[in-house]
Amino acid sequence: MTVEFESYPEIKSYAESVAEPKWFTEMRIKALKAQPELKLPNFEKIRYQRWPIQLKRPLKKYSSDRKSLEELEIEEAKHLVVQLGQDTVRADGLSELVEQGVIICDWQTALEQHSDLVQKYFMRKAVKYDEDLLTAQHVANLTSGLFIYVPKNTTIKEPLTTYFVQDATIKSDYVHHVIIVTDKNSEFSYLENLTTIGSEKTTANIIVEVIAEADSHVKFASVDRLGANTTTYLNRRGHLEDNAKIDWSMGMMNDGNIVGDFDSDLVGNGSHSEVKVVAISTGKQVQGIDTRVTNMGRHTIGHILQHGVILSRSTLTFNGIGHIIKGAKGSDAQQESRVLMLSTKAKGDANPILLIDDNDVTAGHAASVGRVNQEQLYYLMSRGLPKKVAERLVIRGFLGPVLAAIPSKMIEEQLKATIERKLVDGQTDE
């Protein structure tokens, strides 16, 4: 250790406990030193600055009680990774992928066995470590995650399913990072489940970087169910090279306050991103979702589709930003954000933003915030359905266009089941 490391005993102690490579420890220190000059990111109409969203607890290694997983239902999958807190507790069916040259390993293993590859991609292209205060805090306090690399000309037909379980039985921040790299002309499907066990008041800072090299295709789906006492910053960012495509399908079913920062940078010519978001807010929770697609390359396509439902006294804000920069001729930016309100005490907002810096492009937006269609509700109730059941049917119809556009039937069904649970719980709160 150098004198520089000695000046940061907390980082030094943690780095030694996990045998961290020197370059990564140095990056932690750089991120820590940068924080006084950085600010919290600003999102239109999302007021979260006074939340306990900054990381305050000390950096340390801990192990979770695996018995706590017994209360969690985990669906079996051909390729499965389960992490509890900082530990990987299951890794099933990965040998077939390894034989194809795919790398899938937890964060510490990735730093130990694939350090050069991690260093090449970590916070280099999709997200920068000093982008803002939350990204800098993330690097300085990172303790868990997953690294995935799919080599050139490789197609993975069966999705990799992951369960990342935040351990809120322990008073510790959850700082988690996922990197997915698909090399040229490869194809990969990924299903991520975020959930919480325990009820301690905690902060989660989660960043996902998807780097899609030329002519590659990533199908990214997630079902997020973090706990009511977890305040979350969730950043998912795509970096797309020539003719690459990322299909994002995200179900925001969390119970606590959350800021979702979802960006796709269409850097390469002909790159394409489809972003689909379904969100349900219940109780007194606040969900702010900022979704941006930036068309940088020529003839790029960026589409955003967001539908959300709010119940009780909750708040849901959708920002949809389509930005076509100078030089991105022939590009297309489209977005639709709609919010359905089931309570007079709920607050909803849908903000379409188009930033067009060039000619010869196509762009459009649609946004709405409204209540349940009373004629539809009356019709269903006139057929003998109770009001709450009728409301749920109307909501399913409202969310249907987004769910139907999800490429995986398995993920669609999983989201439907989660939505039903959220709606029943939310109506109980009324």
pLDDT for the residue numbered 375: 82
Strand, coil or helix: 268: coil
Is 390 among the domain residues? no
Is 411 among the domain residues? no
pLDDT for the residue numbered 424: 76
Q: For 364, how many CA atoms within 13 A lie in the half-sphere containing its CB?
A: 3
Amino acid sitting at position 83: Q
Into how many domains does the chain fold?
Answer: 1
- CA pair distance 331, 270, nearest whole angstrom: 8
- CA pair distance 274, 339, nearest whole angstrom: 19
pLDDT for the residue numbered 421: 80
pLDDT for the residue numbered 1: 42
Residue 137, sorted as left (phi over 0), alpha (psi -120 to 50) or beta, turns out to be: alpha
Going residue by residue through the chain (430 aa), what tens digit of pLDDT does each one get?
A: 444 677 898 999 999 999 999 999 999 999 999 999 999 999 999 999 999 999 999 999 999 999 989 888 888 899 999 999 999 999 999 999 999 999 999 999 999 999 999 999 999 999 999 999 999 999 999 999 999 999 999 999 899 999 999 999 999 999 999 999 999 999 999 999 999 999 999 999 999 999 999 999 999 999 999 999 999 999 999 999 999 999 999 999 999 999 999 999 999 999 999 999 999 999 999 999 999 999 999 999 999 999 999 998 999 999 999 999 999 999 999 999 999 998 889 999 999 999 999 999 999 999 999 887 778 777 788 888 888 888 888 888 888 877 877 666 777 777 788 888 877 776 656 5
Residue 309's CB is within 10 A of a number of other CB atoms, namely 30
pTM of structure:
0.95
pLDDT for the residue numbered 2: 47
Is 60 among the domain residues? yes
Domain range for 319 is 22-371
- Those residues whose C-beta lies under 8 Å from the C-beta of residue 268, and which sit 6 or more positions away, are 214, 240, 241, 242, 243, 244, 297, 300
Is 283 among the domain residues? yes
How far is CA 243 from each of CA 296, 315, 396, rounded to the nearest angstrom?
12, 37, 34
Is 263 among the domain residues? yes
For residue 52, the 8-state DSSP code is S
As a dihedral over the C-alpha atoms of residue 265, residue 278, residue 306, residue 429, rounded to 10 degrees, the angle is -130
Q: Is-contact 194 221, C-beta < 8 A?
A: no
Is 378 among the domain residues? no
Pairing assessment for the beta strands 144-150 and 160-167 based on DSSP bridges: unpaired
Is 406 among the domain residues? no
